[in-house]
């Protein structure tokens, strides 16, 4: 069965420092991996996705994520955090086998401190 | 262009009443999804549509929940005899097609409060 884990409920980072939001997954078949961000009182917005190819994926707002097949991870990163990056981040996985539904993680709240 | 829209944005109802939540996807998007987001929880998949058909209803929590999509566009999620545990934000998303590589575009959600 598909599953996604975001082990940290909250991540605090100082503005200007690099940030990492962790995600690990379990799927049968090839994984399609996504990151979404939810700002307060707004819907989820797509950040980036991994389908195939380069393990390092670049997305919106300077975010990137690294696909690591051996560790079944897809951590979200940004070299220099901004206060405006403070939001709720969700990792999601879809697969090529069977159903087309996506599994989302429970979310990680990122707080960037000025 | 217009994104995914949902109505109402907020709904307060009494326990036992029926409610209908509406989703208007992005024009041309054939796939439509419903999720539920409870306080402090992640997104819980409810149902998806390809066109007007719903191949996977496995996420619907009970037989009080139903959804339909007409004309391959607007979708309605109906909750009958609402219970307090149904209180949550109900999110709708659409994508160009099925296929796990299609990113989803989300609406702003409907916040449902059952008193």
Structure tokens at B105: 């575009």
When pLDDT is averaged across residues B106-115 and rounded to a whole number, the result is 95
Does A97 touch chain B if contact means CB atoms closer than 8 Å? no
- Kindly report the nearest CA distance between residue A43 and chain B, in angstroms: 4
Looking at residue A51, what is its pLDDT?
Answer: 87
What is the structure's pLDDT at A28? 80
Tell me how close the Cα of A38 comes to any Cα of chain B, in angstroms: 10
- Residue B111 CA to residue B25 CA, distance in Å, equals 18
Residue A42 pLDDT: 79
Instruction: State how far the Cα of A64 lies from the Cα of A75, in Å rounded to an integer.
Output: 9
Higher pLDDT, A39 or A110: A110
- Phi, psi of B85, rounded to the nearest 5 degrees: -70, -10
Q: Would you place residue A3 in the very low, low, confident or very high pLDDT band (cuts 50, 70, 90)?
A: confident
In a domain, B66, yes or no: yes
A51 touches chain B (CB under 8 A): yes
Q: What is the pLDDT of residue A97?
A: 62
B56 neighbourhood in chain A, CB within 8 Å: 99-101
Please report, rounded to a whole number, the percentage of residues in chain A having pLDDT higher than 70. Answer: 95
For residues A81 and A56, is the Cβ–Cβ distance under 8 A?
no
Helix (H, G, I), strand (E, B) or coil at A67: strand
Q: How many domains does chain B have?
A: 1
Percent of chain B having pLDDT more than 70? 98
Cis peptide before B8 (omega within 30 of 0): yes
Query: Does B111 map to a domain?
Result: no
| Residues recorded for chain B | 115
Which chain A residues are closer than 8 Å to B107 by Cβ?
43
Residue A22's domain comprises: 3-113
- pLDDT tens digits for range A56-80: 999 999 999 999 999 999 999 999 9
Give the CATH number for residue B27.
Answer: 2.60.40.10
Question: C-alpha angle with apex B92: B91 to B95, nearest 5 degrees?
Answer: 140
The residue range of the domain holding B53 is 5-95
Does the residue B25 lie in any domain? yes
Least confident among A1-10, A13-22, B18-27: A1-10
Average confidence score pLDDT of chain A: 91
pLDDT at A95: 67
State the total domains in chain A: 1
B86 part of a folded domain: yes
The CATH number linked to A57 is 2.60.40.10
> Does residue B27 lie within any of the structural domains?
yes
Buried-exposed string B47-84: b where 16+ CB fall within 10 A, e elsewhere: bbbbeeebebeebbeeeebebebeebbebebebeebee
- Give the tens place of pLDDT for each residue, B27-79: 999 999 999 998 767 788 899 898 888 877 888 999 999 999 988 899 999 99
Higher pLDDT pick, B5 / B71: B5
Q: Residue A98's pLDDT is what?
A: 60
């Amino acid at each position: 069965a598909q599953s996604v884990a975001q082990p940290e409920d909250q991540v605090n980072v100082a503005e200007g420092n690099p940030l990492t939001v962790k995600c690990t997954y379990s799927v049968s078949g090839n994984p399609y991996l996504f990151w979404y961000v939810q700002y307060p009182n707004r819907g989820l917005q797509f950040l980036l996705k991994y389908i195939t190819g380069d393990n390092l994926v670049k997305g919106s707002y300077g975010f990137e994520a690294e696909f690591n097949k051996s560790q079944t991870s897809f951590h979200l990163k940004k070299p220099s955090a901004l206060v405006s990056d403070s939001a709720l981040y969700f990792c999601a996985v879809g697969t090529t086998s069977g159903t087309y539904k996506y599994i989302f993680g429970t979310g990680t709240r990122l707080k960037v401190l000025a | 262009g217009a994104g995914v829209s949902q109505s109402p944005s907020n709904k307060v109802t009494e326990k036992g009443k029926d409610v209908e939540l509406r989703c208007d996807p992005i024009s041309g998007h054939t796939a439509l999804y419903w999720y539920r987001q409870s306080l402090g929880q992640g997104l819980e998949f409810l149902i998806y549509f390809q066109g007007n058909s719903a191949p996977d209803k496995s996420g619907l929590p009970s037989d009080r929940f139903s959804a339909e999509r007409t004309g391959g566009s607007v979708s309605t999620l109906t909750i009958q005899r609402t219970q307090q545990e149904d209180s949550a934000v109900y999110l709708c998303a659409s994508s160009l097609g099925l296929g796990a590589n299609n990113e989803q575009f989300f609406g702003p959600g409907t916040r449902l409060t059952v008193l």
